[in-house]
Chains A and B, each alone.
Chain A
Amino acid sequence: QKEVEQNSGPLSVPEGAIASLNCTYSDRGSQSFFWYRQYSGKSPELIMFIYSNGDKEDGRFTAQLNKASQYVSLLIRDSQPSDSATYLCAASGGSNYKLTFGKGTLLTVNP
Chain B
Amino acid sequence: KAGVTQTPRYLIKTRGQQVTLSCSPISGHRSVSWYQQTPGQGLQFLFEYFSETQRNKGNFPGRFSGRQFSNSRSEMNVSTLELGDSALYLCASSLGRSGQETQYFGPGTRLLVL
Contact = CB atoms under 8 A, between A and B. Distances in A.
Interface residues of B, number: 28
A42 B107 contact: yes
B111 interface: no
18 contacts: A32-B100, A34-B102, A43-B108, A44-B43, A44-B90, A88-B42, A92-B99, A92-B100, A94-B100, A97-B33, A98-B33, A98-B45, A98-B58, A98-B99, A99-B43, A99-B45, A100-B45, A103-B42
Interface residues of A, number: 26
Contacts of B88: 43
Interface string A31-47: 11010100000111110
Contacts, number: 63
Interface of A: 31-32, 34, 36, 42-46, 49, 51, 88, 90, 92-104
Interface of B: 31, 33, 35, 41-45, 48, 50, 55-56, 58, 88, 90, 92, 96, 98-108
B100 A43 contact: no
A93 B99 contact: yes
B94 to A, nearest CB: 9
Given A34-B102, A43-B108, A44-B90, A97 B50 contact: yes
